[in-house]
Amino acid sequence: MPHPDATSRPAPVLYRNGSVYTAADPFATAMLVDGDTVAWVGSEQAATSIADSSMEIIDLRGALVAPGFVDSHMHLTETGIALESLQLGSATSARALLEAVAGAKGEGPVLGHGWDETTWADPSLPTAEELERAAGGRPVYLSRVDVHSALVSPSLAQSADLRGQDGYDGGARVIRAAHAAARLATRKLPAEALKLHQARALAEAAANGYVALAEMGAPHIGGAEDLRIAAEWNAQDRSARPVPHVLPYWGQAASSEEEARALVAQFDGAVRGLAGDLNIDGSLGSRTAALRTGYNDAGHDRGALYLDVEQAAAHLAACSLAGIQGGFHVIGDAGLDVALEALDRAAQEVGAQRVRAAGHRFEHVEMVDAAAVERLASYSVTVSAQPAFDAAWGGPGGLYERRVGERSRSMNPFASFYAAGVPVCFGSDSPVTPLRPWSSVRACVEHHNEDERISARAAFLGHTRAGWRAARHANTMAGQLVPGAPASFAVWEVEELMVQVADGRVQSWSTDPRARTPLLPALDTGSDPVCLQTVKDGAELFASPALRS
């Protein structure tokens, strides 16, 4: 369905001869889209009776139509830059990094992303001087896979004025404040360049079935101008190429209700809340997540705290009074202790009901025990988690086990969240992990701890409808395909459709129609479904040539 111009209304589109993931009819094979709305879902026989010459008819040839994905935590500009920079995820040594830098084309800073020394036989990093020589004097910024630390050359350290900053010791590796300064020095770009990077990320998301993205802006990431540009995608002219809906968040602490309102007002009310990457702590990979006891592989190091209890409590109280969604980036258990104590103090100050009504959200929440889960539930805090983290770094011998030992087994407790009634939504934290939603669903089903696995259906809802709810979207029908709902969906080429449950003690996969549960792709085939089309509010964001061939 090509995007209409301002004076035309697109023809209704009838999808048929496939499978439609809808609560309205678990056996649905067809769907009619009229304008920006799902008009009807039903059987092939019924589709034959309603088809007429006024409609565009798309033969699905067995493909699946399902609600479009919502990425509940990502970074547009950072994703666009990473996609266009040196891809360092496959590097296996310091020498490999230096060779990549030496081979970088173009002028200006050498940018790269994705290295992970924990996968190398020798985890030694290149020196700052080696980076400078390899780049021929060009400034170098190479972000670690978690984007909480980086390698920088002396020329970049000088231009970013890193001397004396927390996290800079004169070497190549920078963390904490020094890392933020180094990154921002490479992001001082004109608005048009920022927009091009964001457009690259939006196109990547659309090609992978995403209809909405929660953009997590913050002063230490890209600044206010970067977030304003991200929010403007929602207001672009109808004649422009449509893109996924952007759900903007601004990660800056407020100390009063008036300050909270002012922070939102600077974006003309476009931001969803003062949450996202307002960092209480950092990451496990860079050893900046705040821990109760030290890192197993770093002696007494317990990471870093960027906000204390008083600051965090003031922020939650201010947001609650203003009716604004607040929250934090929090990963380590000591970091979560700060966030939970802040909830208690905010509730004492403004009342628990106001805290709950604000719909606060915490990002990541990886190291959490049963008592903490119950406290999150009691305050109706939404957890925005990244399942691909567990797939990449969980499990025996993984990064998390090396960093925190036995504590890693209870990390990312998705099933425990669901059982306690904690609202959960899922994202990628792109560019930390790629925009591959079915891989993320699979990570929920195949969690390294069998007790924390959830069904594909629960995971799929966490990646779709729950993302809209977590952002407090006004349309309560968003994220489902039933008559009257927004026509926001993706079409997928699939190998097989099945009903799936998380419990490995029973048969995990079933094609039995008596289950009366909408079917999802089999995720144990070794490959992800292929996106054929992505549609948001009836407008086509992406289409594979195979869709209409």
- 284 and 156 assigned to the same domain: no
Place of tokens 């889209």: 33
Tell me which long-range contacts 349-352 makes (C-beta under 8 A, separation of at least 24).
349/313, 349/317, 350/317, 350/320, 350/321, 352/379
CB-based contact 21:518 (threshold 8 Å): yes
Q: What is the CA radius of gyration of the chain?
A: 23
- 355 and 450 assigned to the same domain: yes
Task: Place 514 in a pLDDT band, splitting at 50, 70 and 90.
Answer: very low
CB-based contact 440:428 (threshold 8 Å): yes
Cβ neighbours of residue 334 closer than 8 Å, sequence gap 6 or more: 281, 290, 291, 292, 302, 303, 305
Over the stretch 17-58, which tens digit does the pLDDT of each residue have? 999 999 999 899 999 999 999 999 999 999 999 999 999 999
For the chain, give the longest Cα–Cα distance: 74
CB-based contact 541:504 (threshold 8 Å): no
- 286 and 416 assigned to the same domain: yes
- 252 and 161 assigned to the same domain: no
144: helix, coil or strand? Answer: strand
CB-based contact 216:327 (threshold 8 Å): no
Considering the domain boundaries, does residue 537 fall inside one? no
- 414 and 293 assigned to the same domain: yes
The rounded distance, in Å, linking the Cα atoms of 443 and 389 is 9
Considering the domain boundaries, does residue 194 fall inside one? no
Place of tokens 């899922």: 426
Q: Can you give the pLDDT at residue 3? A: 55
> Using H for helix, E for strand and C for coil, what is the string for 9-59?
CCCCEEEECCEECCCCCCCCCEEEEECCEEEEEECHHHHHHHCCCCCEEEE
Place of tokens 């036995």: 406
The one-character DSSP state at 164 is T
The rounded distance, in Å, linking the Cα atoms of 541 and 293 is 47
Q: Give the domain CATH number at 104.
A: 3.10.310.70
Considering the domain boundaries, does residue 11 fall inside one? no
Asked if the model's pLDDT at residue 144 lies above 80, the reply is yes
Please state the length of the chain: 549
- 83 and 156 assigned to the same domain: yes
- 151 and 263 assigned to the same domain: no
Determine if the pTM surpasses 0.85. yes
| pLDDT, mean of residues 235-251 | 92
- 250 and 151 assigned to the same domain: no
- 463 and 369 assigned to the same domain: yes
| pLDDT, mean of residues 397-410 | 96
Asked if the model's pLDDT at residue 229 lies above 70, the reply is yes
Q: Can you give the pLDDT at residue 168? A: 97
Q: Can you give the pLDDT at residue 232? A: 96
Q: Which of 185, 201, 217 corresponds to the end of one domain?
A: 185
Considering the domain boundaries, does residue 48 fall inside one? no
Q: Can you give the pLDDT at residue 391? A: 97
Q: Give the domain CATH number at 450.
A: 3.20.20.140
- 300 and 164 assigned to the same domain: no
- 276 and 145 assigned to the same domain: no
Q: How many domains, the chain?
A: 2
Q: Regarding predicted confidence, which is higher, 506 or 357?
A: 357
The rounded distance, in Å, linking the Cα atoms of 513 and 45 is 18
Per-residue tokens: 181: 């300064």
The rounded distance, in Å, linking the Cα atoms of 349 and 271 is 25
Cβ neighbours of residue 118 closer than 8 Å, sequence gap 6 or more: 285, 399, 402
Considering the domain boundaries, does residue 535 fall inside one? no
Containing structural domain, residue 369: 246-470
Considering the domain boundaries, does residue 28 fall inside one? no
Q: What percent of the chain has pLDDT over 90?
A: 90
Asked if the model's pLDDT at residue 6 lies above 50, the reply is no
Asked if the model's pLDDT at residue 172 lies above 50, the reply is yes
Asked if the model's pLDDT at residue 485 lies above 60, the reply is yes
Asked if the model's pLDDT at residue 230 lies above 60, the reply is yes
DSSP states along 486-536: B--EEEEE-S-EEEE-S-TTS--EE--GGG----EE-S-SSSPPEEEEEEE
Task: Place 525 in a pLDDT band, splitting at 50, 70 and 90.
Answer: confident
Considering the domain boundaries, does residue 509 fall inside one? no
Q: Which of 470, 496, 531 corresponds to the end of one domain?
A: 470
Asked if the model's pLDDT at residue 516 lies above 90, the reply is no
Phi, psi of 414 (to 5 degrees): -60, -45
Lowest mean pLDDT among 156-165, 207-216, 333-342, 502-511: 502-511
Considering the domain boundaries, does residue 521 fall inside one? no
- 170 and 275 assigned to the same domain: no
CB-based contact 285:393 (threshold 8 Å): yes
Q: Can you give the pLDDT at residue 513? A: 47
Q: Which of 414, 447, 470 corresponds to the end of one domain?
A: 470
